[in-house]
Amino acid sequence: MARNTLAAAVAGILLAVCAWTTLKAQTPRPARSVRDGIYSLEQALRGEALYEKHCDRCHGEDLGGDEGPALNSAEFLEDWKGMTAADIFERIRVWMPGDRPGILTREETAALLALILRSNRFPAGALDLPADKLTLSQFRVERPR
């Protein structure tokens, strides 16, 4: 009896997950995502130099967090899930570095975002991540594969 109840519960949960996934797939969302190789390796390397200069004192040497939160954790991706690359871009451009906000150019911000994507195990592609909000808003944030 208990086993049947358990099996029914598991089946119920599976059904719910399937229904939810189908529903989610039907909601209009940006067509591309951070998984699609949206930055270049060279750009992420430029981001690394900027990161050492402006960010590592608060976010840790390997982006793992210190005084500021980790920028490559499961929680970080969870925070941004459902949003777009433009949202993270603006968060950095307007609010960071925490003690000197506003000093980064758009190109520097894009390079830093490229580094953050790389550090979260998203693949690089052929082209740099653009620094304009409209294009960035077409890349949704997802978990890495």
Nearer to ligand HEC, 40 or 80 (CB): 80
Calculate the alpha carbon distances from 95 to 7, 26, 33, 92 in Å: 49, 34, 24, 5
Q: Out of 34, 38, 85, 92, which residue is the one contacting ligand HEC (CB under 6 A)?
A: 92
Dihedral angle, C-alpha 103, 66, 87, 33, nearest 10 °: 120
Q: Which of 139, 20, 6 is nearest to 80 (CA)?
A: 139
| CB contact at 8 A, 41 and 124 | yes
Q: 126: how many CB neighbours lie within 10 A of its CB?
A: 8
For position 86 contacting ligand HEC by CB under 6 A, the verdict is no
Kindly state the smallest distance separating residue 113's Cβ from ligand HEC, in Å: 8
Residue 99 near ligand HEC by CB under 6 A = yes
**Residue 65 interacts with ligand HEC (CB under 6 A)?**
no
| 76 contributes a contact to ligand HEC by CB under 6 A | yes
Nearest distance from residue 83's CB to ligand HEC, in Å?
A: 10
Token code pair at residue 11? 């089946």
The distance of closest approach from Cβ of residue 2 to ligand HEC in the complex, given in angstroms and rounded to an integer, is 42
Nearer residue to ligand HEC within complex by CB, 16 or 49 = 49
Radius of gyration, alpha carbons of the chain: 19
CA angle centred on 91, ends 121 and 20, rounded to 5°: 60
Minimum Å distance from CB 145 to ligand HEC?
21
* Count, residues near ligand HEC per rule CB under 6 A: 20
Q: List contacts with ligand HEC (CB under 6 A).
A: 54-55, 57-59, 67-69, 71, 76, 79, 88, 91-92, 96-99, 104, 112
